[in-house]
């Protein structure tokens, strides 16, 4: 390379990225009202189009949120949550049944999040519960499809295979540094208060509260959802089943809060 070129080369400048308020909310996993409140409070400097519409640069949003270095816990949790949502695409190996697994996962995340908030968990723990709800069944992708998608009753050997999805899912998540924190929750979401759950058969006091919440949300949504292998229960019947199995399968106090919250 010539000396002249080294001394006079033109630096490439990356163009700034601008968002509408709605685009910013979607991109950063925020509510639109939050973005608008930041604008009206003067925390977000915006450009205005000739028509008077706000346009916000990506750098300005990052600076306002204090997340330029990506070290913010809020940004970290947003990234981890979006990673969990991306992982749901693995369910597409189940073809036409993928929508059921994805919808069930999202429902469990939502219901578990509502319950965690009602219990007054910390913001971090609520986030962990919601992320765990999204990927609680991801280990199913590591099991033979003909077993996972079987419409008739499973034989004992097949049921034992299905039970391994907790371990498979936990191993998958523990291999991703950003998600290792939720691997134990996924591992425990089929443990029971009476100690006869799986995969480890641990007693209630050793089960994470996060996993107890997921267990209840998962069971409820599995009962009320239309699936490829059964007809749905009514909401009333599903809630009756939760109450009937309180203190045996489920944590009775969390069941009470769950029923009151949804």
Whichever domain contains 40, its CATH number is 1.10.1660
pLDDT digits (tens, 9 = 90+) for 113-168: 999 999 999 989 999 999 999 999 999 999 999 999 999 999 999 999 999 999 99
CATH number reported for the structural domain that contains residue 228 in this entry: 1.10.3210.10
Segments of the chain assigned E as strands: 18-19, 47-48, 54-57
Looking at the fold, whether 135 and 180 belong to one and the same domain comes out as: yes
Q: By the 8 A CB rule, do 144 and 157 touch?
A: no
Residue 2 lies in a domain: no
Least confident of 157-161, 167-171, 175-179, 242-246: 175-179
Residue 6 lies in a domain: no
Looking at the fold, whether 49 and 80 belong to one and the same domain comes out as: no
pLDDT digits (tens, 9 = 90+) for 49-96: 888 888 888 887 777 665 434 445 666 778 888 899 999 999 999 999
**Which of the 8 DSSP states describes residue 149?**
T
Segment (H or E) for 84: helix 73-87
Instruction: List the domain range (segments joined by +) for residue 98.
Output: 73-261
Number of domains within the chain = 2
Looking at the fold, whether 182 and 61 belong to one and the same domain comes out as: no
Looking at the fold, whether 80 and 175 belong to one and the same domain comes out as: yes
Residue of 183 and 1 predicted with greater confidence: 183
Facing residues of 250 across strands? 246
Quickly count: other Cβ atoms within 10 Å of residue 177's Cβ: 7
Residue 156 lies in a domain: yes
Asked if pLDDT for residue 8 goes beyond 90, the answer is no
């Amino acid at each position: 390379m010539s000396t002249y070129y080294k001394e006079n080369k033109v630096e490439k400048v990356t163009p700034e990225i601008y968002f509408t308020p709605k685009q910013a909310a979607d991109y950063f996993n925020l509510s639109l009202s939050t973005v608008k409140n930041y604008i009206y409070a003067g925390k977000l400097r915006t450009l205005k189009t000739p028509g008077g519409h706000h346009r916000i640069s990506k750098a300005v949003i990052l600076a306002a949120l204090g997340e330029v270095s990506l070290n913010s816990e809020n940004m970290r949790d947003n990234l981890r949550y979006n990673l969990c949502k991306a992982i749901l695409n693995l369910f597409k190996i189940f073809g036409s049944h993928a929508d059921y697994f994805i919808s069930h996962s999202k429902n469990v995340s939502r219901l578990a999040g509502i319950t965690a908030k009602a219990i007054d968990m910390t913001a971090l723990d609520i986030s962990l519960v919601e992320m765990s709800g999204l990927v609680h069944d991801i280990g199913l992708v590591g099991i033979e499809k003909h077993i996972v998608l079987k419409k008739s009753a499973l034989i004992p050997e097949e049921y034992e295979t299905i039970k391994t999805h907790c371990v498979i899912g936990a191993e998958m998540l523990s291999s991703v540094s950003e998600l290792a924190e939720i691997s134990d929750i996924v591992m425990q979401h089929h443990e029971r208060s009476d100690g006869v759950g799986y995969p480890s058969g641990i007693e209630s006091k050793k089960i994470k509260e996060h996993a107890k919440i997921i267990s209840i949300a998962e069971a409820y949504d599995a009962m009320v959802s239309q699936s490829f292998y059964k007809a749905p229960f009514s909401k009333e019947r599903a809630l009756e089943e939760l109450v009937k199995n309180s203190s045996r399968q489920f944590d009775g106090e969390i069941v009470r809060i769950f029923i009151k919250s949804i």
